[in-house]
Amino acid sequence: MATVVIVDDPARLGHRSWISKVRGRGWWGWVAVLALNGSFAVFGSWISPYDHTEQLPRSKFLAPLESDARGIHLMGTDELGRDVLAQVIEGARLTLFIAIAATLIGAAIGIVLGMLAGYLGGWVDRLVMRLTEAQTAMPMFLVALLLLSSLGASVWNLIAILPTYIWPTFARLIRGETLRMRSAAFVEAAVTIGCTTTTVLARHLLPNLASRVGVLLAISTGQVILSEAGLSFIGAGVQDPDVTWGLLIAGGRTYLTVAWWPTVFPGLFAGLTVFALNGLARRFTETVGR
């Protein structure tokens, strides 16, 4: 009777080695930036020095580090006397929620379609690739603007539309990696012992894609943050009374010649977050690839 030897997945054999490489590689600056913004999003109500909605018109446009009856304002105040730091902290919550939710939805769509295309091939592969080509051929910012103008500018519409930016990238990457691994020994062994297509994809292929998916998640989250900021900046994204970094940037642009801080500080936090996500993805790729 033939003996079937199960070859263990590379993801299970090698996870300790790449984790050991990651440690001490200088990731902590990017991690610190993301941890700060994450703490703003989760613990904003306790961290914020003031209520972000509190208005004091006689204290409008206080420069950073100036104070009034409420106390010192580290990032100054806006045209209504609201504390800019409190608004930046509040904006982190909705900005990151939209970015993470939209990225996860787009990633889930792209991963499923990419794995099916790469593993099954044939008409499934051709259909998925034609869809990605059609998607990438469109000016997606204008498409999103048109859809938001038709459906209405809201948080949930943004979360529904922004995944269209990123799922083709996931689908193409995952398809290529699935094509490369579908003839690997551990996949053939799983098929030999009778594993279903769902089991092969979910338990054997998907874990081996984790590192690449993680890198793409970080990059895509940064892209979604910038897309949300751009749409909110032109009035097609989040609307008052909700607060995001993009909306804060848009609100302060009128007064940029009078007071730069209501615009610059939200933009700085958005830029640093995207920079940290891209830097973290790059270092992760370099470290794991060694």
What confidence score (pLDDT) does residue 9 get? 52
Confidence band (pLDDT; 50, 70, 90) for 290?
A: low
Residue 16 covered by a domain? no
pLDDT of residue 184: 78
Contact 118, 182 (CB under 8 A): yes
Q: What is the pLDDT of residue 237?
A: 82
pLDDT given at position 1? 44
For 265, counting Cβ atoms within 10 Å of its Cβ (0-12 exposed, 13-18 middle, 19+ buried), the class is buried
Cα angle, residue 265 at apex, residues 264 and 269 outer, rounded to 5°: 115
Distance CA 219, CA 222 (A): 5
Contacts of 146 (CB under 8 A, 6+ apart): none
- Whether residue 2 lies inside any domain: the answer is no
Q: What is the pLDDT of residues 140-172, one digit of tens each?
A: 888 888 888 888 888 899 999 999 889 999 999
pTM of the full predicted structure?
0.84
Q: Return the pLDDT at 286.
A: 67
Rounded distance between C-alpha atoms, residue 170 and residue 270, angstroms = 23
Q: 197 or 74: which carries more pLDDT confidence?
A: 74
Mean pLDDT to the nearest integer, 27-52: 87
**Residue 257 pLDDT level (bands cut at 50, 70, 90):** confident
The CA-based dihedral angle spanning residues 44, 103, 12, 279, taken in that order and rounded to the nearest 10 degrees: -70
Query: Considering only 93-102, 120-129, 191-200, 235-244, which range has the smallest mean pLDDT?
Result: 191-200
In this predicted structure, what is the pLDDT of residue 5? 45
> Could you tell me if residue 42 is inside a domain?
no
Residue 88's pLDDT band, with cuts at 50, 70 and 90, is very high
In degrees, to the nearest 5, what angle opens at C-alpha 244 toward C-alphas 240 and 248?
Answer: 75
* Domain harbouring 133, CATH code: 1.10.3720.10
Whether 19 maps to a domain, the answer reads: no
Tokens encoding 130 = 């034609």
Answer yes or no: is 114 within a domain: yes
The average pLDDT across 48-75 equals 89
As a whole-number percent, the residues of the chain with pLDDT over 90 amount to: 41
Q: In which domain, by residue range, is 129 found?
A: 99-288
The one-letter amino acid at 11: A
Average pLDDT of the chain, as a whole number: 85
Which carries the bigger pLDDT value, residue 233 or residue 274?
Answer: 274
**Residue 139 within any structural domain of the chain:** yes
Say if 140 falls within a structural domain: yes
- Residues with Cβ < 8 Å from 93, sequence gap 6 or more? 40, 41, 42, 44
Residue 46 is assigned to a structural domain of this protein: no
DSSP characters over 66-135: EEETTEEETT-B-TTS-BHHHHHHHHHHHHHHHHHHHHHHHHHHHHHHHHHHHHH-HHHHHHHHHHHHHH
Average pLDDT in the 88-108 region? 94
In the chain, how many domains are there?
Answer: 1
**Buried/exposed code over 214-250 (b: 16+ C-beta within 10 A; e: otherwise):** ebbbbbbbbbbbbbbbbbbbeebbbeeebbbbbbbbb
